[in-house]
Structure 1
Amino acid sequence: MPVAGRTGSKRATGTAAIAAIPISGCSRSPSIGVLGAYFPDWLFCIVAGVVLTVVVYLILKRLRADHLLGPAAVVYPTLVTLLALVAWLTLFQH
């Protein structure tokens, strides 16, 4: 009987050790305090990506070069994603 107890104890210890590895990534929450509320970093990056995409759209429209791009349903969401990731890489490197 005591042998079975040790095996269960070793298994529980091993499981706890393995579970502790990914949990350690949650030690610091990447968030920004705005007026007492905390918002995640990625939310600001998405907003920055959308705003920068609108600026690019307006510049292309003013230059009358917007027809040179491919289908807008593909180009502009891709541009939002690209600019959001660039904003995240430049502003929130930890």
Structure 2
Amino acid sequence: MPRSISVLGSFFPDWLFCAIAGLVLALIVRGLLVRFGQERAFGPPAMVQPTLMLLFSLLVWLVFF
């Protein structure tokens, strides 16, 4: 059964919050990798960024839901 989270009276599906959290966490990791000069150490960014977003989205979903 899908869950909804109330935000200021409007209901949003929980997967939406997981996707947003995954995006934010992936961008933070990308910023850290760029800052330390390790951006290309994990492979092409076009493959790494979506994979990181998916990883973080699923981890948020497992931890909080």
TM-score normalised over the length of structure 2:
0.94
Where 1:73 maps in the other structure, the secondary structure is helix
What is the alpha-carbon distance in structure 2 between the residues aligned to residue 79 and residue 71 of structure 1? 12
What are structure 2's unaligned runs of at least 5 residues? none
Partner of 1:90: 63
Runs of 4+ in 1 over 3 A off after TM superposition: none
Q: Which has the higher contact order (CA 8 A, sep 6+)?
A: 2
Partner of 1:72: 45
TM-score normalised over the length of structure 1:
0.66
1:2-59 residue CA offsets vs partner (Å, 9 max, x unmatched): xxxxxxxxxxxxxxxxxxxxxxxx4xx4010001100000000000000000000011
Task: Give the paired residue count.
Answer: 65
CA RMSD for the aligned pairs?
Answer: 0.9
Greater CA drift, 64-73 or 39-48 = 64-73
| Cα drift, residue 73 of structure 1 | 1.1
